[in-house]
Amino acid sequence: MSKNIKLMQGNEAVAEGAIIAGCDFFAGYPITPSSEVAEFLSSKLPKIGKVFLQMEDEIAALGAVLGAALGGAKAITATSGPGMSLKQENIGYASMCEIPCVIVNVMRGGPSTGLPTLPSQSDIMQAKWGTHGDHAIIAITPSSVNESLYETIRAFNLAVKYRTPVLLLTDEIIGHMREKVVIPDKSEVEIIDLKLPDVPPEKYNPYNYTSGKVTPLAPMGEGYRYHVTGLIHGETGFPSQKTDVIQNAENWLIDKIYKNIKDIEKFEEFMTGDADILVVAYGSTSRSVRQAISMARAAGIKVGMFRPITIWPFPEEQISNLSKKIKKVLVVEMNMGQIILEVQRAACGSKVYGLHVTNGEPITPDQIFAKIKEVSEN
């Protein structure tokens, strides 16, 4: 079978991945640099009998996505910095009510309206802590156009499997660059579909905090009647202030993610086997790091890279294990220092350095190579 190869933009690849994953519904509000996701899906979804909605604002867009998901649709929205800030209340609602959906954030410079057309990686901590209350989140950071397509499919799978919002964090560079993409047939990739509960409506509880298994979300309108609320609720969905129910509900939102971290995590190691210096980088920045490592190796400096693809939950165990044999760690990010705090926590015993640039330009291999030389001489 001949391969289906296209030259695509990163944002188009996200949209193509959503369609392959079985996306039924998009609602969004145009915002640079994510607008091409909406543009692509506005053309494609109606042609295959699916729904595209342009909403009046970012809050309404995610609200529509959550409503569609409760109705049994695979749903997605796309936004960027300021829009992501507006979505936080509904992200918390989706976490509490366990509504599966995919939220794409094509990161740009901030705060506020910041730098609409320039790249940044400054929403990493917002992804984990942006909404209030204790809960776990899944966030994915692809580093290429091809990976954007496949990780969008994985984002949908994780959302369905764990009944949770999944964040796909790209950036202006990945979103707007064009690269070769190998588009798979649906039969070539894993696609996890929504499934009906295996109990009749009269025996259905929408939440299960104690069995360790995620209860399938019954689509509204299929005969299953249940209560959906952002209040702490018991397994029936109705609010509760009983202490054991509250604790079980809070534990469950954390445990269903962290107890399945081996299934959720994904990362890449590059030339770490003999490395004296470990560079931690993600997204588009990891591409410059890869080139800088080649430059450093040519200069006789043994450097390797660890690249989280699933950035939340943070791959703490992998960083900790690498830091036992590599005592110098350099974190490279297009922000003022965000994931470096997690690396410092995990890499106990190693000296952790940072290279953080927020001037609206990509961090170049030359800048990274210069920092690697500085670290090697310390």
What would the pLDDT profile of 26-82 be if each residue is shown by its tens digit? Answer: 999 999 999 999 999 999 999 999 999 999 999 999 999 999 999 999 999 999 999
Q: Is the omega angle on the peptide bond into residue 197 within 30 degrees of 0, that is, cis?
A: no
Tens of pLDDT, residues 315-348: 999 999 999 999 999 999 999 999 999 999 999 8
Where do the domains of the chain lie?
5-182, 201-264, 267-377
Q: Which residues 6+ apart lie within 8 Å of 320 measured at CB?
A: 346, 347, 348
In CATH, what class is 5-182?
alpha beta
What band does 143 get if pLDDT is binned at 50, 70 and 90?
very high
Nearest to 252 by CA among 205, 310, 211, 195: 211
In CATH, what class is 267-377?
alpha beta
pLDDT of residue 378: 87
**SS3 sequence, 272-303?**
CCCCCEEEECCCCHHHHHHHHHHHHHHCCCCE
Question: In this structure, what DSSP letter does residue 47 have?
Answer: G
Question: Taking the model in full, what pTM does it have?
Answer: 0.97
Q: Which residues 6+ apart lie within 8 Å of 350 measured at CB?
A: 278, 323, 326, 327, 328, 329
What band does 1 get if pLDDT is binned at 50, 70 and 90?
low
pLDDT of residue 211: 84
Nearest to 29 by CA among 5, 65, 74, 70: 65
Q: Provide mean pLDDT across the span 143-153.
A: 98
What band does 196 get if pLDDT is binned at 50, 70 and 90?
confident
Cα–Cα distance, 177 to 173 (Å, whole number): 6
Cα–Cα distance, 59 to 91 (Å, whole number): 10
Q: Do domains 5-182 and 267-377 have the same CATH topology?
A: yes
